[in-house]
Every structure is written in structure tokens, then in C-alpha cells.
Homo-oligomer: A and B are copies of this chain.
Amino acid sequence: MAKSTLSELKKEAFESNMGVFESGLVVLTWGNASALDRSQGIFAIKPSGVPYSALKWQDMVLVDLDGKVVDSTLKPSSDTLTHLEIYKGFKNINGIVHTHSEWATVWAQACKSIPVLGTTHSDHFFGEIPCIPYLSESKILASYEKETGIQIVDFYNKNSLNPQYVPACLLGGHASFTWGETSNIAFQNAVALESCAKMAFLSLNLNSKIEFPDYILKKHFTRKHGENAYYGQ
């Protein structure tokens, strides 16, 4: 691949990493974003444990879809194998974001899926945000990060969920992953998830019996997504 293309990929991943940091979705080093060039089978991801305030786009680590570091002396994110398995399992996804953003993590720690309660959620996610159960001890001991990715992909397959329709999930006891056709869309979904998580928590506190109609969910999702979308330029 041309050097210039690799630089673009690093810059794309860097922008999403800085996006989650500057939006307050990440504190300390609790999060990472990646961007994939599927034609080359290479993705750029945040280096492990490097403070966001010191991060440069050149620091992004290139990794191939076998999990091998291509060109860096820095170690990639400890969650790299999770990203890799998601890229392998979800074929139309080219960007992934992982954060411990607080309200999404609250739902993950409570081991509850986030129900659809309004149009904000509907604009981004066509159905509830699923919370995937705790990983078993044997999987964690075998290969924690790889098994985490496998568990996400399996969950979507078994439940016939379309990852492009529900581009976010919670991991029980852990936090969230979001994704999208690009790294920037994955970042936007992380922002949307956090806001929807907060509003769902508080809305149910105010009224535990909300029955949001499916036809509004469908209207709002298709207004922004799919062939009849008319939102945006």
C-alpha cells in the first residue's frame, strides 16, 4: 500500500480517538478507536496506554487482519484482538470505537439492554442496544480480548441482529463498542449511545411504563438510513 494511504488511515483513526476524548467519552486511557482499509486488510489503532493529551497521528499502530503489527515499535491497544474479530465478523464495518463512557457503562454494569424510548435513539439504532452477558471464566483465561470480539459477533448472528442496523452493543460488566462504515461514523454512534443511555435511564425513572411506538422507530431510522433516507445533504 502506498505510504500516503497508510498515513490517511492513521489520521482517520487518530481523529476518532481524539473525538471520543474531546467529547468527554473517555477519561484517562479508557477507550480506543480504529479505522480499517478493508481492501488491504490493515487497520490503524491507538497504541496501548498512551495518554490522549500526548497522542499524535503518527503514533497509531498498523495491524493486519492476522493480528500482526505492521510497522510500529509501539504496542497496539490491548483491545486490538476484539477489534480484529469484529472486523472479521461484520463485513461492512470499517471503523470501531470502544469507550467506558459513563452512562453506557452504567447500563453495561447493570447487565441491561437499552430499550428504544424515543426518536434520538431511533435516528441511530434500529432497536434496543443489546447487553451481551459476562464472558465465561474459561474464555477469559483462554484469550480474553479475542473471545470478547467473538462473543459480540456470535451474539449478533444468533439473535439475527444486523450490525449496520444496531451499530452499538454493551458488554456485561464492562462497557461499550460502537462501529460504522467509517471510523467517524463509529465515533458519532458512540456519542449517540452515551446520550441515549443517559436519557433512557432518566426517562424510565420518570415513567417506568413507556411504550414508544414501533412505527415512529421505523420512520426515524429510515429517514436517516437506507435507500429512502432524506436526512442530510
Chain A residues in the interface with B (C-beta under 8 A) = 27-28, 30, 47-50, 74-75, 78, 100, 102-103, 105-112, 117-120, 123, 134-135, 137, 140-141, 144, 173-175, 188, 191-192, 195, 198-203, 205-207, 210, 212-213, 215-216, 219, 223, 230-233
Is the pair B192, A120 in contact by a Cβ cutoff of 8 Å?
Answer: no
Subset of 24 A-B contacts with CB under 8 Å? A50-B233, A75-B233, A100-B119, A105-B120, A106-B199, A106-B203, A109-B207, A109-B210, A110-B206, A111-B210, A118-B173, A118-B174, A119-B173, A120-B175, A134-B212, A137-B215, A140-B219, A141-B219, A144-B219, A144-B223, A173-B212, A174-B216, A201-B202, A201-B206
Copies of this chain, how many? 4
- Residue in chain B with minimal CB distance to A120: B100
- Residue in chain B with minimal CB distance to A203: B109
| Chain B hits for A175, CB < 8 A | 118-120
Q: What CA separation (Å) do A192 and B28 show in the bound complex?
A: 8
